[in-house]
C-alpha cells in the first residue's frame, strides 16, 4: 500500500514536471512605449514556436492592494515572436503583469513584472472632471472624438477615464466604432461648419491605418458627411453630397441653378463603388416650394442606418423626416415624420431636427429628437421676427423609441427620455441606453456628455474641451474569452 | 508476484526514460525582461503646438468665461467709472456690494486653469528633442507658453493682489500653496515677458498669437503697475520701434471693432475665436455689451453719462458711444439715456459682425445668433501711444514727444491737438481722460486710476453720481479671494474685501 502511494506520488510529480516541461516556454519579454501615444504599451514576447500569447495585467483599486481589476491584452496566435499591445490602460496608474503563453492544452505564466503609465497628457484635449461623474459608473466604454486640429478619437471607460486615443493631424468631423472593432472617421483639414469632409480613414484598434479614401482620388468624386460605418459585409457606407444642375427659372431662379442634395455611397475596401443612391432619384426639387432658399443644403441628411434585411434608413433634418429605402432597388418604402409622412403619429412621437437614427432589436425606431422648433413640422421658417431665444427657450432634446405599425400605418412612442432644457442641443448629438437605468446623451451644443436615468434626471456629465458629433456606447473593445 | 515486480520496474523505467527525453528536448528559451517605458510620449511639434493651443483655449474658457462673454471686463472696468453694469447678475459688482465672497471665483478658476496648462506646456515641450521642430523653434513655443502664463498672472494680480505663484504643473491633490507677495509675482511675470520678447518673432499677421511686440507692451504694463516709469518707457519705445503697428485710420473708429478688421495692425494682442458655431469657438462677446432693444444683446450695460458728457464736440468716437439709437424692431429713434440711464457702447455689438452677418435690424441680429469671430483686444496701439504720452509726462513733463503721442490718438478721431502749454498735472489729467474715452470697456481703467493715485477719489465721485450708498476705500482695489479657496486651502489668507 505504501509502495503504491509512493508510485502514485511519483506519477503525479512527474506529470506536473512533464507538463511544466512540455508547456511552451517564454524567452525575452521586451516592454516599450509607442511613439506619440501614451496609452499604448507594446510588449514583444519570444516563445516556443506555434504558441498563443497574451498579457494579463492588473491594477489595485485600494491602498492595501487586496482588491484589483484584471484585464487582458488582445491575443497573438500561433507564433514564436508575439508583438502584443495593451490598448486599454489608464493614465497615472501602476500595473502588474504576466505573459501568458499556451500551446494546445498547456499553459505557462511568466513571473510578475510591473510598469507605470504617464501622469498626464495635457496636449490631448480630454480632461476628466472627477467630480462631475462621481455618481456614474458602468460596464463598458464610450467612444467619441474631438473636433479640432489635430483631431482625436477617444475611448473612455465607465469611470470617465481615458482608455485609448487615436490622433490625426486633420480634424475628425464624424467617427464610428464599427462592428468589426475598427474605427472609422471622416476627416477634414478645416474647422468650418458642419460635418463635411474629404477623407474617410479606418484604423484598427491598435492605431494602424487600414484604409484611406479621398475625394478626388480613385474615381471618388463625392465629399462625405455626417455618417460613416461598415455594413454587414464590411463595406464602407457613408452619406455624400450630390450636385444637380437644373432649371429653376419657374420659381424665380436661373436656368442653370445648382442644388446640393444628399446621397448614399457604399464602397468596398478596394475603393470600388458597390452601391449608390441619390435623393434626386426619388423627389423633384421643384416640388419643394422653398427650393430657392434651401438649394444650398436641400434636405440635409444627417444619419444613415442599415437594418438586418438590408434596407436603409436615412434621416433628413430640414424636413424632420426619416425615410426607409429599399437596399437593392433604392426605391422609397416609406416616409416617417415631417409634414407629409406616411404614418399617423401621436403628438408626443413627433420629432423635429432629429439625429442618430437606428432600428433596435425590437424593430423600433430609436433617435435623438433634438426638439429644435425651427424644424418642427409645419413651422413657418420665414417668420424672422420671432426671437430665436424665445423660440427654443423651452425646448428639450429627447431620446425617442417609436414603434412602427406598417399595417395600420401608425407610429407611437414606446419610450421617451426627456433631457433637461439646460442641455438642449439644437443641432447634432446622439443618445442611447447604456443599460436599463442609465442613458448617455451627447449634447454637442453644450460640449457635454450627459448621463441621466430613464426619467431624464441628470446623474452626471463629462465636460469636453471641443465638441463631438456623437457619443457611442461600446460593451467591449475586444473579446477576451481566451482568458476566461 | 514476479510479474508485478516486472511491471513496477517497467513503470519506473518509463518515467525515467520520459524525464531523460524531456530534459534533452528542451528549447533554449530563458525568460528575461528588457526595455522600459519612456517618461513622456510627446515627441512631435504638432503635439507641442496642441499644448500651446490648449493654453490659448483657456483664455476663452469654452466661450463663457475669462476673456469671453465680457467676464473679465466686468470686474476690471466694471468696477470703475467707464462701464456701468445694470444687469441683475452683475449689479452687485457695479454697486460695490461684494458680500458674496465668490463674486470672482469663476475667474480665479479659469485663470489658474490657464496657468496650469502653460506650466504643463513648458515642462513637456522642454522634454522634446530639438530635432522634432521644423516650423517653429523649441524656444519660440516655450516663449509663447511663458507669454500666456505672464498674461494670466498679470490678470490674477490685478484682480487679487498676492496670489499663489505656481510654476510647476499640478500633479496631485496637494494642499494649496500660500499667497506669494505680489512683488515676487511681478518679478516672475517680467521674467516671462522678457523671455517672450527675446524668443518670439514679430507680429506675423495675426494679433491672436503672442509676439515680440505684445511681450514688450505687457512687460511695460507690468512695470507701470510698479511705477517703474523708465523701464516701462524703454519697452514701450521698443514696441513702437518695431514699426509693425499703427492706428486704424482707414475708416471710422467703430469699424475698428468690426469682425472684418480683427487682424488690423492696430491690434497688438487679442484673444481671437473662430466663431465656428454658437457653442464652439465663439467668444459670445457680442451678447454682453449691448442691450436687447439695440441689437438683441443680453446686457443692460454701457458708458456712464458723466464720461459721455466729457466728450468734446466733433469726437468721432461718439459713433461708438451711442445716445440716440435705432430701435431693433424699427420705428422712431430712441434715447439710450432715457431708456437705460447710460449710453450704448457698441464696441462689441451684434451689428459689428460684418462678415458672418452683415446688415442691421432683426434679420442680421438673428442670423448666426450669438456667434462671433470678433476679437477681444488685450493690447492695441492707441493704448500704447497714450501710455507713451503719460510716461513721457511723468519723466520729463509735457514734452513734444508726449504731445505727439496723445495727439496722434486724438486726431484719429477728428479732434484737434490738445491745448498747448498744459502743466504736468493738467497733461496727466488730460491723458487719463483720453484713455477713459478711448478704451472704455476694454479693461484698462482700474490700473490707470491706481497708477495715478486717484482710484479712491474718482470712484467716490462716481458713486456719488450714480447714487450708490457706499464709500470707496483702498480695500476695493482687490476682489475677495474666493470663499471656496479659503475653505479648501488652509494656507490661503483673505483680502480686506472678504470682510465687506
Classify residue B422 as exposed, middle or buried by CB count within 10 Å of its CB (0-12, 13-18, 19+). middle
B chain contacts of residue A191, beta-carbon cutoff 8 Å: 274, 276, 281
Q: B12: which chain A residues are within 8 Å (Cβ-Cβ)?
A: 10
Q: Do residue B31 and residue A26 have CB atoms under 8 angstroms apart?
A: yes
Could you read off the pLDDT of B164-204 as tens digits, one per residue?
999 998 766 566 899 999 999 999 999 999 999 999 998 77
Return d(Cα A207, Cα A166) in angstroms, integer: 6
Q: In the prediction, which pLDDT does A250 show?
A: 92
pLDDT value at residue A147: 85
**pLDDT value of position A128:** 85
Q: Which residues of B touch A46 (CB under 8 A)?
A: 29
For testing contact with chain B, the best of A123, A392, A393 (most B CBs within 10 A) = A123
DSSP A296-327: GGSS-EEEEEE-TTS-EEEEETTTTEEEEE-T
Measured between CB atoms, which of B8, B40, B169 is closest to A118? B40
Q: Do A444 and B279 touch (CB under 8 A)?
A: yes
Which residues of B fall within a CB distance of 8 Å from A11? 15
Question: B37 to chain A: which residues are within 8 Å by CB?
Answer: 31-33, 41, 115-118
CB contact under 8 A, A113 and B29: no
Is B366 at the interface with chain A, CB within 8 A?
yes
First to last CA, chain A: 40
Q: Which chain A residues are within 8 Å of B56, Cβ to Cβ?
A: none
Task: Report the residue of chain A nearest B12, measured CA to CA.
Answer: A7
Report the 3 state secondary structure along chain B: CHHHHHHHHHHHHHHHHHHHHHHHCCCCCCCEEECCCCCCCCCCHHHHHHHHHHHHHHCCHHHCCCCHHHHHHHHCHHHCCCCEECCHHHHHHHCCCCCCCCCCHHHHHHHHHHHHHHHHHHHHHHCCCHHHCCCCCHHHHHHHHHHHHHHHHHHHHHHHCCECCCCCCCCCCCCCCCCECHHHHHHHHHHHHHHHHHHCCCCCCCCCCCCHHHHHHHHHHHHHHCCCHHHHHHHHHHHHHCCCCCCCCCCCHHHHHCHHHCCCCCEEEEECCCCCCCCCCCCCHHHCCCCHHHHCCCCCEEECHHHHHCCCCCCHHHHCEECEEECCCCCCEEEHHHHHCCEEEHHHCHHHCCCCCCCCHHHHHHCCCCCCCCCEEEEEHHHHHHHHHHHHHHHHCCCHHHHHHHHHHHHHCCCCCCCCCCCHHHHHHHHHHHHHHHHCCCCCHHHHHHHCCCHHHHHHHHHHHHCCCCCCCHHHHCCCCCHHHHHHCCCCCCCHHHHC
Nearest by Cα to B374 from B358, B354, B391, B359: B354
DSSP three-state, residue A16:
helix
| Dist. CA B378–CA B155, nearest whole Å | 11
Q: Which of B27, B36, B44 sits opposite A31 (nearest CB)?
A: B36
Using alpha carbons, select from A3, A11, A15 the residue that is nearest to residue B11: A11
Cβ of B296 and A387 within 8 Å? yes
Residue A193: the pLDDT is: 53
Say what the pLDDT of residue B24 is: 45
| B360 close to A (CB below 8 A) | no
Using alpha carbons, list the distances in angstroms from residue A481 to A24, A96, B181, B323, B347. Answer: 20, 21, 60, 75, 64
Q: Do B278 and A445 touch (CB under 8 A)?
A: yes
CA distance A143 to A472: 5
B412-to-B57, B251, B314 alpha-carbon distances in Å? 33, 10, 12
Comparing CA positions, the residue from B485, B491, B488 lying closest to residue B156 is B485
The pLDDT assigned to A381 comes to 52
Does residue B147 contact residue B55 with C-beta atoms inside 8 Å?
A: no
Q: What is the residue extent of each domain of chain A?
A: 26-117
C-alpha cell, B70: 465680457
3-state DSSP assignment of residue A9: helix
Residues 477-496 of B with CB under 8 A from A: none
Closest to A146 in 3D by CA, of A127, A118, A119, A121: A127
CA distance B176 to chain A (A): 18
Substitution target in B8, B64, B277 with the highest count of A β-carbons within 10 Å is B277
Nearest CA of chain B to the CA of A419: how many Å? 18
Do B42 and A29 lie within an 8 Å CB cutoff? no
B33 at interface of A, judged by CB pairs closer than 8 A: yes
Residue B364 in contact with partner chain A when CB distance is under 8 A: no
B54 CB neighbours in chain A (<8 A) are 122-123, 125, 465
Instruction: Decide if B366 and A384 are in contact by the 8 Å CB cutoff.
Output: yes
How many Å apart are CA B138 and CA B437, to the nearest integer?
Answer: 41
Smallest CA–CA distance from B4 into chain A, residue: A4
CA distance A346 to chain B (A): 32
Q: Quick one: pLDDT at residue A384? A: 43
Nearest chain A alpha carbon to B170: A120
Q: Are A241 and A215 in contact (CB under 8 A)?
A: no
List, as ranges, residues 440-469 from B with C-beta within 8 Å of A: none
> What confidence score (pLDDT) does residue B360 get?
85
Contact A38 B41 (CB under 8 A): yes
Q: How far is CA A370 from the centre of its chain?
A: 19
Q: What does the pLDDT read at residue A156?
A: 98
Judging contacts by C-beta atoms under 8 Å, the chain B residues touching residue A193 are 276-277
Residue of B nearest to A92 (CA): B171
Say which of A32, A122, A446 has its CB closest to residue B54.
A122
> In A, which residues are within 8 Å of B8 by CB distance?
3, 7
Contact A27 B30 (CB under 8 A): yes
**Which residue in B35, B112, B123, B373 has the most chain A C-beta atoms within 10 A of its own C-beta, making it the best mutation to test that interface?**
B35
B453, B477 contact by CB (below 8 A): no
**Which chain B residues are closer than 8 Å to A465 by Cβ?**
54, 57
The pLDDT score that the predictor gives to residue B273 is 82
Q: In this complex, is the C-beta atom of B26 within 8 Å of any C-beta atom belonging to chain A?
A: yes
For A26-117, which CATH class? mainly beta
What per-residue confidence (pLDDT) applies to B40?
Answer: 62
User: What residues of chain B, 280 to 299, have a C-beta less than 8 Å from chain A?
Assistant: 280-281, 296
If you search the block for the grid coordinates 476663452, which residue do you land on?
Answer: B60
Chain B hits for A173, Cβ within 8 Å: none
Low-confidence spans in chain B with pLDDT less than 50: 21-25
Among B residues 324-353, those touching chain A with beta carbons less than 8 Å apart = 329
Taking CB atoms and an 8 Å limit, are B40 and A122 in contact across chains?
A: no
Tens-level pLDDT at each residue, chain A (484 residues): 566 666 555 555 655 667 777 899 999 999 999 877 889 999 999 999 999 999 999 999 988 889 999 999 999 999 999 999 999 999 999 999 999 999 999 999 999 999 999 888 877 888 888 878 999 999 999 999 998 777 899 999 999 999 999 998 888 999 999 999 999 999 987 644 568 899 999 999 999 999 999 999 999 999 999 999 999 999 999 999 999 999 999 998 999 999 999 999 999 999 999 999 999 999 999 999 889 888 988 999 999 999 999 999 999 999 999 999 999 999 999 999 999 999 999 999 999 999 999 999 999 999 999 999 889 998 765 444 444 455 777 899 999 999 999 999 999 999 999 999 989 998 999 999 999 999 999 999 888 999 999 999 999 999 887 889 999 999 999 999 999 7
**If contacts are CB pairs under 8 Å, which of residues 65-94 in chain B contact chain A?**
none
Pairing of strands A151-157, A171-177: unpaired
Distance from CA of A320 to the nearest CA of B (A): 21
Instruction: Name chain A contacts of B121, Cβ cutoff 8 Å.
Output: 122-123
Cell numbers given for B324: 440716440
Query: Residues of A with CB below 8 A from B27's CB?
Result: 25, 48-49
Amino acid at each position: 500500500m505504501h509502495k503504491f502511494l509512493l508510485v502514485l506520488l511519483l506519477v503525479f510529480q512527474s506529470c506536473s514536471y512533464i507538463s511544466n516541461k512540455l508547456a511552451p516556454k517564454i524567452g525575452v519579454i521586451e516592454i516599450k512605449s509607442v511613439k506619440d501615444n501614451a496609452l499604448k504599451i507594446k510588449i514583444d514576447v519570444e516563445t516556443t514556436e506555434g504558441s498563443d500569447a497574451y498579457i494579463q495585467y492588473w491594477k489595485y483599486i485600494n491602498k492595501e492592494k487586496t482588491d484589483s481589476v484584471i484585464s487582458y491584452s488582445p491575443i497573438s496566435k500561433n507564433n514564436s515572436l508575439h508583438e502584443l499591445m495593451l490598448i486599454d490602460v489608464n493614465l497615472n496608474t501602476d500595473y502588474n503583469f504576466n505573459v501568458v503563453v499556451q500551446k494546445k492544452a498547456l499553459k505557462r505564466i511568466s513571473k510578475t513584472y510591473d510598469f507605470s503609465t504617464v501622469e498626464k497628457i495635457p496636449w490631448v484635449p480630454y480632461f476628466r472632471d472627477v467630480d462631475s461623474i462621481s455618481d456614474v459608473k458602468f460596464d463598458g466604454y464610450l467612444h467619441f472624438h474631438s473636433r479640432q486640429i489635430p483631431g482625436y478619437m477617444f475611448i473612455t471607460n465607465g469611470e470617465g477615464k481615458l482608455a485609448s486615443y487615436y490622433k490625426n493631424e486633420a480634424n475628425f468631423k464624424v467617427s464610428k466604432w464599427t462592428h468589426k472593432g475598427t474605427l472609422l472617421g471622416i476627416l477634414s483639414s478645416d474647422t468650418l461648419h458642419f460635418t463635411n469632409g474629404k477623407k474617410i480613414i479606418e484604423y484598427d484598434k491598435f492605431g494602424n491605418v487600414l484604409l484611406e479614401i479621398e475625394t478626388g482620388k480613385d474615381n471618388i468624386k463625392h465629399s462625405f458627411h455626417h455618417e460613416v460605418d461598415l455594413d454587414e459585409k464590411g463595406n464602407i457606407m457613408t452619406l455624400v453630397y450630390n450636385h444637380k444642375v437644373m432649371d429653376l427659372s419657374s420659381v424665380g431662379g436661373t436656368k442653370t441653378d445648382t442644388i446640393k442634395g444628399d446621397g448614399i455611397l457604399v464602397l468596398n475596401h478596394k475603393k470600388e463603388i458597390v452601391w449608390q443612391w441619390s435623393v434626386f432619384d426619388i423627389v423633384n426639387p421643384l416640388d419643394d416650394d422653398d427650393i430657392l432658399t434651401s438649394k444650398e443644403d436641400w434636405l440635409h441628411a444627417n444619419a444613415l442606418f442599415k437594418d438586418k434585411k438590408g434596407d436603409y434608413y436615412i434621416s433628413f433634418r430640414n424636413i424632420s423626416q426619416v425615410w426607409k429605402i429599399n437596399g437593392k432597388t433604392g426605391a422609397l418604402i416609406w416616409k416617417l415624420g415631417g409634414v407629409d409622412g406616411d404614418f399617423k403619429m401621436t403628438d408626443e412621437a413627433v420629432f423635429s431636427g432629429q439625429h442618430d437614427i437606428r432600428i433596435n432589436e425590437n424593430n423600433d425606431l430609436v433617435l435623438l429628437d433634438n426638439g429644435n422648433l425651427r424644424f418642427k413640422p409645419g413651422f413657418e421658417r420665414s417668420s424672422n421676427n420671432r426671437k430665436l431665444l424665445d423660440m427654443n427657450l423651452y425646448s428639450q432634446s429627447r431620446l425617442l423609441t417609436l414603434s412602427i405599425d406598417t399595417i395600420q400605418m401608425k407610429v407611437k412612442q414606446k419610450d421617451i427620455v426627456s433631457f433637461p432644457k439646460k442641455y438642449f442641443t439644437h443641432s447634432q448629438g446622439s443618445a442611447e441606453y447604456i443599460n436599463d437605468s442609465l442613458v448617455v446623451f451627447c449634447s454637442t451644443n453644450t460640449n457635454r456628455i450627459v448621463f441621466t436615468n430613464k426619467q431624464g434626471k441628470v446623474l452626471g456629465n463629462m465636460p469636453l474641451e471641443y465638441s463631438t458629433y456623437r457619443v457611442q456606447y461600446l460593451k467591449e473593445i475586444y473579446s477576451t474569452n481566451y482568458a476566461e | 508476484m514476479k510479474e508485478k515486480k516486472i511491471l513496477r520496474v517497467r513503470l519506473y523505467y518509463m518515467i525515467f526514460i520520459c524525464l531523460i527525453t524531456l530534459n534533452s528536448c528542451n528549447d533554449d528559451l530563458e525568460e528575461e525582461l528588457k526595455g522600459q517605458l519612456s517618461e513622456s510620449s510627446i515627441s512631435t511639434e504638432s503635439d507641442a503646438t496642441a499644448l500651446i493651443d490648449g493654453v490659448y483655449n483657456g483664455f476663452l474658457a469654452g466661450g463663457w468665461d475669462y476673456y469671453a462673454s465680457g467676464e473679465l471686463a466686468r470686474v476690471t472696468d466694471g468696477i470703475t467709472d467707464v462701464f456701468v453694469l445694470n444687469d441683475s447678475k452683475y449689479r452687485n459688482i457695479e454697486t460695490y456690494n461684494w458680500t458674496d465672497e465668490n463674486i470672482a471665483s469663476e475667474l480665479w478658476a479659469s485663470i489658474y486653469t490657464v496657468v496650469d496648462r502653460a506650466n504643463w506646456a513648458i515642462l513637456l515641450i522642454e522634454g522634446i528633442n530639438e530635432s522634432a521642430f521644423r516650423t517653429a523653434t523649441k524656444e519660440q513655443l516655450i516663449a509663447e507658453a511663458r507669454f500666456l502664463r505672464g498674461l494670466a498672472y498679470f490678470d490674477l494680480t490685478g484682480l487679487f493682489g498676492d496670489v499663489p505663484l505656481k510654476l510647476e504643473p499640478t500633479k496631485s491633490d496637494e494642499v494649496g500653496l500660500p499667497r506669494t507677495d505680489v512683488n515676487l509675482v511681478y518679478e516672475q511675470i517680467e521674467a516671462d515677458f522678457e523671455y517672450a520678447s527675446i524668443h518670439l518673432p514679430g507680429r506675423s499677421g495675426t494679433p491672436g498669437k503672442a509676439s515680440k511686440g505684445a511681450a514688450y507692451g505687457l512687460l511695460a504694463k507690468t512695470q507701470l503697475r510698479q511705477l517703474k516709469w523708465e523701464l516701462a518707457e524703454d519697452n514701450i519705445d521698443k514696441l513702437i520701434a518695431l514699426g509693425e503697428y499703427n492706428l486704424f485710420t482707414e475708416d471710422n473708429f467703430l469699424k475698428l471693432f468690426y469682425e472684418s478688421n480683427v487682424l488690423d495692425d492696430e491690434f497688438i494682442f487679442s484673444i481671437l475665436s473662430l466663431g465656428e458655431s454658437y457653442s464652439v469657438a465663439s467668444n459670445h462677446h457680442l451678447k454682453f455689451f449691448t442691450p436687447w432693444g439695440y441689437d438683441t444683446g443680453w446686457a443692460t450695460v454701457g458708458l456712464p453719462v458723466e464720461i459721455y458728457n466729457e466728450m468734446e464736440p466733433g469726437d468721432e468716437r461718439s459713433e461708438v458711444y451711442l445716445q440716440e439709437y435705432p430701435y431693433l424692431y424699427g420705428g422712431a429713434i430712441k434715447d439710450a439715456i432715457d431708456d437705460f440711464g447710460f449710453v450704448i457702447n457698441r464696441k462689441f455689438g451684434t451689428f459689428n459682425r460684418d462678415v458672418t452677418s452683415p446688415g442691421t435690424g432683426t434679420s442680421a441680429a438673428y442670423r448666426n445668433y450669438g456667434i462671433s469671430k470678433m476679437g477681444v483686444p488685450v493690447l492695441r496701439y492707441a493704448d500704447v501711444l497714450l501710455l507713451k504720452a503719460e510716461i513721457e509726462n511723468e519723466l520729463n513733463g509735457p514734452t513734444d514727444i508726449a504731445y505727439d503721442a496723445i495727439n496722434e490718438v486724438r486726431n484719429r478721431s477728428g479732434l484737434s491737438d490738445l491745448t498747448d502749454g498744459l502743466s504736468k498735472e493738467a497733461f496727466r489729467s488730460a491723458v487719463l481722460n483720453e484713455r477713459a474715452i478711448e478704451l472704455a470697456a476694454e479693461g484698462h481703467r482700474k490700473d490707470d486710476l491706481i497708477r495715478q493715485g486717484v482710484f479712491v477719489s474718482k470712484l467716490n465721485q462716481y458713486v456719488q453720481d450714480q447714487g450708490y450708498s457706499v464709500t470707496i476705500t483702498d480695500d476695493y482695489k482687490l476682489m475677495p479671494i474666493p470663499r471656496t479657496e479659503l475653505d479648501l486651502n488652509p494656507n490661503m489668507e483673505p483680502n480686506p474685501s472678504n470682510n465687506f
